[in-house]
Amino acid sequence: MGTQRKDSLPELLQKMDAVDLRNPDLYINRELSQLEFNWRVLAQAKDDTTPLLERLRFLCISSTNMDEFFEIRVAGIMQTLDLAPVQPGPDGKLPAEILKAISARAHELVAEQYRVLNDALIPQLAETGIRFIRRNEWSDAQEKWMRGYFEKEVLPMLSPLGIDPAHPFPRILNKSLNFIITLKGKDAFGRSSNLAVVQAPRALPRIIPLPPQESSSGPHDFVFLSSIIHHYMADLFPGMKVTGSYQFRVTRNSDLFVDTEEVQDLLRAVQGELQERRFGDTVRLEVVDDCPEDVIKYLLSQFELGADDVYKVNGPVNLNRLIGIYDMVERNDLKFLPFTPSVPAAFAKTGDMFEVLRKHDVLMHHPFESFAPVIEFLRQAANDSHVLAVKQTLYRTAPDSAIVDHLVSAARSGKEVTVVIELRARFDEAANIALANRLQEAGAHVVYGVVGFKTHAKMILVVRREGKQLCHYVHLGTGNYHPRTARLYTDYGLLTGNKEIGDDVHKVFLQLTSLGRVAKLQKLLQSPFTLHDGLIDKIRRETKFAEQGKPARIIAKMNSLVEPQIIQALYAASVAGVTIDLIVRGTCSLRPGIPGVSDRIRVVSIVGRFLEHTRACYFHNGGEPEVYCASADWMGRNFFRRVEVGFPIEVKALKDRITKDLELFLQDNTQAWSLRSDGVYERKMAQGDEPLVMAQTTLLRELASS
């Protein structure tokens, strides 16, 4: 399979009595591990047991992931090449070495993406009546309709740009669709330039449905915008001969840079950087595979890229745009079965959420359970005359979110509303600026957290007067306050009236909005202060239990595991005899299964219908288990450069429920991948008559209704 690629592991490590836990051979490179995750996503597009349109969606997701990988991770490595000598990471690899390895593996992945598209998905979609009509297949009726569409909708939007001394090569927008044209002949001014560039406006749809009545097409026939522009390209250069027309696309560095020491107004600084993102340094060139080598070399020279940075593709240069088919085709037989998220039973008995939370905590597991109670929590807070204040962090949410509506309503009704908006939530910066303006206009207090530390914690605090005292009601989550992603991502959310947790959340909000020393928290672990050390202390506690010959176990689920000190603590725990099960969806720098080092550590990755996003961990703790959920992955940025919270699950029934969930994911033998010590992921398969276990399907069956 695509994931079968080995990293060398010296035999020396298997013979060492005392292992240096900082040895680079004990660590998998972060970027290469992240790249392997995209192979596991692509595997879903190749899985015949997955509905066909869902397979197309997984192909698009793998392409979108690759865009972000180049925009952020590859761009960051390229930047380091221009700096002074750089210290290698825990894996010992230097930037140039990493880029070389990325290029080799990424080229393999891109080739496989287009093979899956051309050899599997397009033919199978055609068998179901969903067709992409190529130019050489157009009927007379289709060509007539296409001609009219081009002249009415496309041609007025195009501005071909000839390349000559008076017209230098144009600036190309990040990830935009472009064509480089080779020409012969002279124009009306006697110019004989042989190159031109045509940029496809972003306002034009990239996939166009053909109307059956007007074009004699089937109900689900589509044509690519690129095909239409290609076919009528000669119309843009009258009197000249078009000898070649080739799609290309560039990817640029999209990470925002804000000098936190110099910035005076974070909002203005982020707004300014957003304008530059579209034209950041180039990091990748995608071009159709029939483009001549001399034209490719010309493009590489214009973008200051090398031969390793060009990706020749057999199809549209932007696979992401195919995702539009999923929404345009209403074929439930080609999609996952729909389901209705359930509502926790506690809220079904009474409509008063504060009454419920005075009695007990409520745990929700999205998307199997509805996100609606979180929205209802805010709605009731906005409308309740006893509620005096509402505070919330917003990292990502929908532009038309009901959550924002209720915050606006609360502010307009005279309540004290404070919202901490993270302006630097990657790729959501513009949306968050608009949200900030809307909330401020309604009278809410809007702050942007702490300069230099992203506010990634997911918290709502409601202050309610009950008799002679003020009570705190809290929501804490592992995911964002985004109703749409709550249907696609798995996350835990805790609603509680616990006084100590409420007091802790209040103290964290004071840190975010005011000034002062770090306040001691009773229940929460918080980055950048106590979360990292707190987790290491708990790992070391399990280590001591194992050294004493007592049962010791750790189960942890997260999106990424790369922080070296945490990994070293886990290695030491494994050496001492702790059984460690890690469920890491994406990037994992830890090598499991190394004799004498990590042979008690197991790492699995779950890739399925929903994006696994829950962060939860279990510590056996001498028979008195502790369970924590958190907004943070186990990465340096989350521990030291962000504001995060880890929160305990203290009610036994809820603690047991999360532990059961974790055990279920470890039993998955359908959508789980096991990480080997050499860095290879192998898909877990049921053996013999072993029953099939699919964790997400089991949770859907137990918690949701179809």
What CATH number is given to the structural domain containing 157? 3.30.1840.10
Domain boundary among 334, 354, 383: 334
β 469-477/459-466 pair status:
antiparallel
pLDDT of 441: 86
Torsion angle defined by CA atoms of residues 133, 139, 141 and 145, in that order, rounded to the nearest 10 degrees:
40
Phi and psi torsions of 508, nearest 5°: -65, -40
Mean pLDDT, range 131-156, rounded to an integer: 94
**How crowded is residue 166: how many other Cβ atoms within 10 Å of its Cβ?**
8
pLDDT of 415: 94
pLDDT of 280: 67
Residue 265: is its pLDDT beyond 90? no
Q: What is the pLDDT of residues 273-293, one digit of tens each?
A: 444 444 468 999 999 999 999
Confidence band (pLDDT; 50, 70, 90) for 192? low
pLDDT of 436: 78
686 falls within a domain: no
Q: Letter for the amino acid at 700? A: L
pLDDT of 256: 46
Strands (E), 467-609: 469-477, 489-496, 525-527, 553-558, 579-584, 601-606
**% of the chain at pLDDT higher than 90:** 75
In a shared domain, residues 292 and 350: no
Mean pLDDT, range 514-527, rounded to an integer: 89
In a shared domain, residues 253 and 376: no
Residue 262: is its pLDDT beyond 50? no
Distance CA 685, CA 55 (A): 20
Peptide bond into 399 cis (omega under 30): no
> Of 322-336, 388-402, 442-456, which one has max mean pLDDT?
322-336
The answer to whether 456 is a known catalytic residue is yes
pLDDT of 167: 78
Peptide bond into 528 cis (omega under 30): yes
C-alpha angle with apex 290: 287 to 291, nearest 5 degrees? 55
Residue 612: is its pLDDT beyond 60? yes
In a shared domain, residues 427 and 306: no
pLDDT of 190: 62
Mean pLDDT across the chain: 90
pLDDT of 261: 41
Residue 144: is its pLDDT beyond 80? yes
C-alpha angle with apex 442: 441 to 447, nearest 5 degrees? 70
95 falls within a domain: no
Distance CA 371, CA 495 (A): 12
Please tell me which residue, 506 or 3, carries the higher pLDDT value. 506
pLDDT of 80: 83
- Residue whose C-alpha is closest to residue 495's, from 352, 705, 700, 665: 352
Mean pLDDT, range 126-137, rounded to an integer: 94
Q: Letter for the amino acid at 279? A: F
45 within 8 A of 62, measured Cβ to Cβ: yes
pTM as predicted? 0.91
Q: Which of 75-84, 287-296, 353-362, 460-469 has the lowest mean pLDDT?
A: 75-84
pLDDT of 518: 79
Confidence band (pLDDT; 50, 70, 90) for 14? very low
- Bridge partners for 284 per DSSP: 251
- CA 682 to each of CA 111, 465, 679: distance values in angstroms, whole numbers, following the listed order: 21, 55, 10
**How crowded is residue 100: how many other Cβ atoms within 10 Å of its Cβ?**
12
Domain boundary among 523, 550, 567: 523
Question: What string of DSSP letters covers 262-318?
Answer: T-S-HHHHHHHHHHHHTT--EEEEEEETTS-HHHHHHHHHHHT--GGGEEEESS-S-
Phi and psi torsions of 162, nearest 5°: -70, 145
In a shared domain, residues 268 and 353: no
In a shared domain, residues 359 and 231: no
pLDDT of 257: 45
Q: What is the pLDDT of residues 449-489, one digit of tens each?
A: 787 888 999 999 999 999 999 999 999 999 989 888 899 99
Query: Alpha helix (H) ranges present in 73-119?
Result: 75-80, 95-115
Q: Which of 250-264, 362-376, 645-659 has the lowest mean pLDDT?
A: 250-264
Confidence band (pLDDT; 50, 70, 90) for 358? very high
58 falls within a domain: no
Catalytic residue among 365, 366, 456, 472, which? 456
In a shared domain, residues 353 and 409: yes
Residue 676, token pair as written in the block: 């080997």
In a shared domain, residues 150 and 190: yes
- Residue whose C-alpha is closest to residue 617's, from 570, 571, 574: 570
**How crowded is residue 219: how many other Cβ atoms within 10 Å of its Cβ?**
12
- Residue whose C-alpha is closest to residue 509's, from 390, 648, 633, 358: 390
Domain count, the chain: 2
Helix axes 402-412, 372-383, angle to 10 degrees: 10
Helix axes 695-703, 652-667, angle to 10 degrees: 140
Q: What is the pLDDT of residues 632-690, one digit of tens each?
A: 999 999 999 999 999 999 999 999 999 999 999 999 999 999 999 999 999 999 888 89
583 falls within a domain: no
User: String of b and e for 321-343 (b: at least 16 CB within 10 Å)?
Assistant: bbbbbeeebeeeebeeeebebbe
Confidence band (pLDDT; 50, 70, 90) for 266? very low
Domain boundary among 284, 299, 334: 334
pLDDT of 220: 94
In a shared domain, residues 444 and 489: yes
pLDDT of 278: 45
Mean pLDDT, range 333-357, rounded to an integer: 91
CATH classification of the domain holding 455:
3.30.870.10
**Going by C-beta distance under 8 Å and a sequence separation of 6 or more, which residues neighbour residue 149?**
208, 228
Q: What is the pLDDT of residues 230-249, one digit of tens each?
A: 999 999 999 889 999 999 99
206 falls within a domain: yes
pLDDT of 186: 76
Residue 405, token pair as written in the block: 């509506």
Residue 267: is its pLDDT beyond 60? no
The greatest distance separating any two alpha carbons of the chain, rounded to the nearest whole angstrom, comes to 89
**How crowded is residue 315: how many other Cβ atoms within 10 Å of its Cβ?**
19
pLDDT of 524: 98
Residue 706: is its pLDDT beyond 70? no
643 falls within a domain: no
- CA 409 to each of CA 386, 401, 474: distance values in angstroms, whole numbers, following the listed order: 15, 13, 19
450 within 8 A of 570, measured Cβ to Cβ: no
Residue 553: is its pLDDT beyond 80? yes
Mean pLDDT, range 581-588, rounded to an integer: 98
User: String of b and e for 385-395 (b: at least 16 CB within 10 Å)?
Assistant: eebebbbbbbb
Residue 438: is its pLDDT beyond 90? no
In the block, tokens 């007091």 appear at 503
Residue 211, token pair as written in the block: 């109307």
Note the Cα 361 to chain centre separation in Å: 30
Residue 614: is its pLDDT beyond 50? yes
Mean pLDDT, range 411-428, rounded to an integer: 80
Q: Which of 210-219, 307-316, 686-695 has the lowest mean pLDDT?
A: 210-219
In a shared domain, residues 310 and 435: no
pLDDT of 276: 46
Please tell me which residue, 618 or 440, carries the higher pLDDT value. 618
C-alpha angle with apex 121: 248 to 311, nearest 5 degrees? 25
492 falls within a domain: yes
- CA 29 to each of CA 4, 72, 93: distance values in angstroms, whole numbers, following the listed order: 16, 16, 8
Strands (E), 124-259: 131-132, 161-162, 178-184, 195-199, 207-209, 221-224, 241-252
**Going by C-beta distance under 8 Å and a sequence separation of 6 or more, which residues neighbour residue 659?**
555, 618, 625, 627
> Of 347-356, 416-425, 614-623, which one has max mean pLDDT?
614-623
Confidence band (pLDDT; 50, 70, 90) for 565? very high
Distance CA 340, CA 346 (A): 18
Residue 303: is its pLDDT beyond 80? yes
Residue 259: is its pLDDT beyond 60? no
**% of the chain at pLDDT higher than 70:** 91
In a shared domain, residues 287 and 433: no
Distance CA 253, CA 69 (A): 10
Note the Cα 591 to chain centre separation in Å: 23
In a shared domain, residues 261 and 393: no
In a shared domain, residues 270 and 366: no
Query: Alpha helix (H) ranges present in 118-170?
Result: 122-127, 140-149
- CA 388 to each of CA 44, 214, 475, 596: distance values in angstroms, whole numbers, following the listed order: 49, 61, 17, 58
40 within 8 A of 604, measured Cβ to Cβ: no
Mean pLDDT, range 151-163, rounded to an integer: 93
Q: What is the pLDDT of residues 40-64, one digit of tens each?
A: 999 999 999 999 999 999 999 999 9
Containing structural domain, residue 234: 128-334
pLDDT of 435: 81
In the block, tokens 């008195």 appear at 624
70 falls within a domain: no
